[in-house]
Amino acid sequence: MTTRRPALTLAALMALAVTAVGCTGDASNPEPTGAPTASAEPEQLTLGVQGTEAEMEAWSEVVADFNDGNVDSQASLVKWAPQKSAQEVLDGGKAQDVPDVFLTSRGDLDAVLESKLSRPVSELLDERGVDFGDRFARAAVQSFGVDGELQCMAYSISPMVLFVNEKLVDFEKMKARGLNTTHRDDRWNMVDFEEAARFGTRPARKIAGLHIESTVRGLAPFILSAGGSLFDDPETPTTLNFSSDETRDALQSALPVLRDASLTLTEEQLSRRTPMEWFKRGKLGMIAGERSLVPELRQEEKLKFNVMPMPYLGAAATIGDSTGLCISANTKNAPEAADLITHLVSDEATAALAESGSMVPTNLAAAASDSFLQPDQMPERSSVFNSSVRGTFFPPLGVSWAALEEAVAPQVSRLLLEPGEIDLEEITTQIDEASRTVLDPETVEEESGDPSSGAPDGAADE
């Protein structure tokens, strides 16, 4: 496993911000630099993105705005089909085929860096007055800081929150009945969460109050909020950390509710439909998800939904991902590419993308605008996405999340689904051991006596 040590600290971000403010008279919407050259042909740029139909329309509009009257450069949109992710495009290893500016998730960042397909953006954006420190969500910006450089400019962030069916979980009715409703719109504890799940459960109608995935990702917000940790090392992990005292204590706080079979979907229900399908059909009170679900849920005419943060067990915490705008290492127009990113992360351009309803902008002005909050549409509490950003945990770079989940799936499923009493010490120890096959495979092979691992040439034949 290859990992990189994120070294772009908050102090470094603030130092960049101070420099940036001194470079421009209007830090809120910095303009591309460079004097127009009327006699020269404009440089041609490509912008590689992918998204929903509404997002692609918004990208087209902001690119058209960039091109309008721009004599230095002109950009064209390159759509990356949904079935062809950024990772699949980059796996070809041909930097010359990568767009001048491309959007990638943080989950793909390690592969991008290992393939040397991008170049740092810190200096170029600093020269253009982009205020990293104050005008963008720091957690998202820092997630793209590696080796002392900002590798890509953070564009969106996707914290996990709870989607709530308000026809089933009606806080006003709960209050009228004298039930525990001490929650706030931006925080609630495990007692409030359990009370809401019980209120939303209708056994006679086969309606479940909640569903939390039996995965590391599903359990992560509860573990982190209660003071536990997911990995033995936050930057270069060799194992999950479920068997630590802190994480076991966290699980003991959350599992009594999450394991309660009277509140959750049955195995028979899960075999027939996905949890999201049950939520859409009005048969599930609460489910964890991200902002990208919003446009899809708005299509369900009978569904009245809202959002709440993940339960608070000691600290605000959740898990998520982010996307960033990167500059190709092989672009011949790096200054113009930086001009394009500067335009894309401006208040107006980001707000235009936020109107699609499927992304949480890192631009704080856009995130606070009606373009994102959309008060006349569900969910009413869109501000919950913004308040959840600060506590968002990002997995270490280089970790194959899909492979890790697959390796520990049987043991993690036991935590939530095994009937009766469970041996928490035994299961958490097994989870950590299974995780090592993904996080530290070489050591596992050496310990198992695999002659093909770590042996000098020819030694295996002796």
Nearest CA-CA partner of 169 in 115, 120, 209, 229? 209
Q: Tell me the three state secondary structure of residue 46.
A: strand
Question: One fold for both 10-158+321-391 and 161-319?
Answer: yes
Residue 133 clears pLDDT 90, i.e. is over it: no
Residue 291 clears pLDDT 80, i.e. is over it: yes
Query: CA 408 from chain center: how many Å?
Result: 21
Give the per-residue pLDDT at 91.
58
Give one DSSP letter per residue of 270-316, joined into a string: HHHS-HHHHHHTT-BSEEEE-GGGHHHHHT-TT--EEEEPPPBSSS-
β pairing state of 149-150 and 43-49? unpaired
Distance, in Å, from the CA atom of 234 to the CA atom of 401, rounded to the nearest integer, reads: 14
Nearest CA-CA partner of 221 in 441, 54, 47, 388? 388
% residues pLDDT > 70 (the chain): 84
Distance, in Å, from the CA atom of 244 to the CA atom of 230, rounded to the nearest integer, reads: 10
The domains of the chain are located at 10-158+321-391, 161-319
Give the per-residue pLDDT at 90.
56
Q: How confident is the model at residue 447 (pLDDT cuts 50, 70, 90)?
A: confident
The structure tokens 């006596």 sit at 449
The structure tokens 């004599």 sit at 71
| Segment (H or E) for 416 | helix 401-417
* Position with higher pLDDT, 186 vs 2: 186
Give the per-residue pLDDT at 13.
46
Q: How confident is the model at residue 4 (pLDDT cuts 50, 70, 90)?
A: low
- Give the homologous superfamily in CATH for domain 10-158+321-391: Periplasmic binding protein-like II (3.40.190.10)
Give the per-residue pLDDT at 79.
79
Distance, in Å, from the CA atom of 231 to the CA atom of 142, rounded to the nearest integer, reads: 19
pTM over the 0.85 mark: yes
User: pLDDT tens, 143-189?
Assistant: 999 999 999 999 999 999 999 999 999 999 998 898 866 677 778 99
Give the per-residue pLDDT at 458.
44
* Position with higher pLDDT, 77 vs 87: 77
User: In CATH, which of 3.20.20.70, 3.40.1000.10, 3.40.50.300, 3.40.190.10 is domain 161-319?
Assistant: 3.40.190.10
User: pLDDT tens, 369-413?
Assistant: 999 999 999 999 999 999 999 999 999 999 999 999 999 999 999
> Which residue intervals of 322-400 are DSSP H helices?
334-344, 347-354, 364-367, 370-373, 383-389
The per-residue pLDDT of the chain, averaged, comes to: 88
Give the per-residue pLDDT at 179.
84
Count CB atoms within 10 A of the CB of residue 319. Answer: 24
